[in-house]
Structure 1
Amino acid sequence: MAELTSRRPYLIRALYDWVLDNDLTPHLLVAADAEGVDVPHQFVTEDGKITVNISPGAVRGLSLDNALISFSARFSGQSYDVSVPPGAVLALYARENGEGMLFGEVEPPTPPDGGPDGGDDADGESGEQTAQSKRAHLKVVK
């Protein structure tokens, strides 16, 4: 079975639309130190995160693609081009009430070939052990 694409960019787009449809202000919480993140570092918190207002009135050229979220925004009056891989988004929520979704940990980017090492294990086998390690892992959220 082929490796599935990340569901995070799809959820980000859906939540963004939901927040706007309810006349609320969408904010992204981003792990600023994650691979591929380009944000103004002077606004990153001590714990390595940045919160960005991505409402239509606050950003220009917003693109919520599967591989990259990009836009131009003003921080303290200065314009910055921001780019964030969807895997670095920790949450998308409405500023007014906090409703939205927490994604949890940073999701590492998937290599272009779809696997961590080209698809086969170190012995050149892609057999039973690899299939077992790719089983779904669910955890209870209370």
Structure 2
Amino acid sequence: MFILPIVNTSTKPYFIRAIHEWAEDNGFTPHVLVDAFGEGVLVPDEHVKDGQILLNIAHTAVQLDCMDNERIAFTARFNGVATNIELPIESIKAIYARENGQGLFFDDMQGPDDPDENPRIETEADKPTSKTDTSGNDKPRSHLKVIK
């Protein structure tokens, strides 16, 4: 029997594509906020402010080359000059509609290889087998207080 390993990919690129599609379908203008100094980011330096750049990624503003799980790549015009833009997914801090601000702002998300991203599932083999292992002393204390 052949068992495939379970790969837990990040949800971030899926959320980005979903918000982008939702904005376009509803006539909104999708914008991305990008960490301009992130690894692999290719943006015009003269438009970077406080280490960030805000980009309009609507189909009417850019020629989208790629929007996959790794990156967003497109050609945009800055002061009339066509410029290739590369945005690794990790560099994107937010995607939202310009008109109403609806969208998603990302915290520093952990990658799929981080231990906290792949929680361990307890199996029957992990459970204690004797009654002495299940003493009541291991219960966490309640965060609630009795107020009189």
Same fold (TM over 0.5): yes
Identity %: 41
Q: Which amino acid aligns with 1:33?
A: F
Q: 1:135 aligns with which of 110, 119, 131?
A: 119
- Find the partner of 1:103 among 64, 86, 106: 106
| Equivalent residue for 2:27, pick from 14, 23, 26 | 23
Contact 1:73–1:82 (Cα < 8 Å) also in 2: yes
Distance in 2 (alpha carbons) for counterparts of 1:76 and 1:64: 24
Counterpart of 2:90 in structure 1 is 87
8 Å Cα contact 2:32/2:96 also seen in 1: yes
> What number of residue pairs does the alignment pair up?
116
Structure 2 CA distance for partners of 1:87 and 1:50, relative to 1, 3 Å: same
- Could you give the per-residue CA deviations for residues 77-97 of structure 1, whole angstroms, max 9, x where no partner exists? 211100111111100011111
Q: Structure 1 segments of 4 or more deviating over 4 A?
A: none
Q: Which residues in structure 2 correspond to 1:1-142 (within 5 Å)?
A: 2-45=6-49, 47-105=50-108, 107=109, 115=113, 134-135=118-119
TM-superposition CA deviations, 1:28-48 (whole Å, max 9, x none): 100011111111111000x20
Shift of residue 51, structure 1, vs aligned partner: 0.4
Please list every run of 5 or more consecutive structure 1 residues that lacks an aligned counterpart in the other structure. 117-129, 137-142
Task: Report the CA distance between 1:104 and its aligned residue.
Answer: 2.1
Shift of 1:26: 0.4
TM-score, L = length of structure 1: 0.73
Match of 1:122 in 2: none
Task: Check whether the contact 1:28–1:89 (CA below 8 A) recurs between aligned residues.
Answer: yes
Q: Report the structure number with the largest CA radius of gyration.
A: 2
Shift of 1:115: 4.3
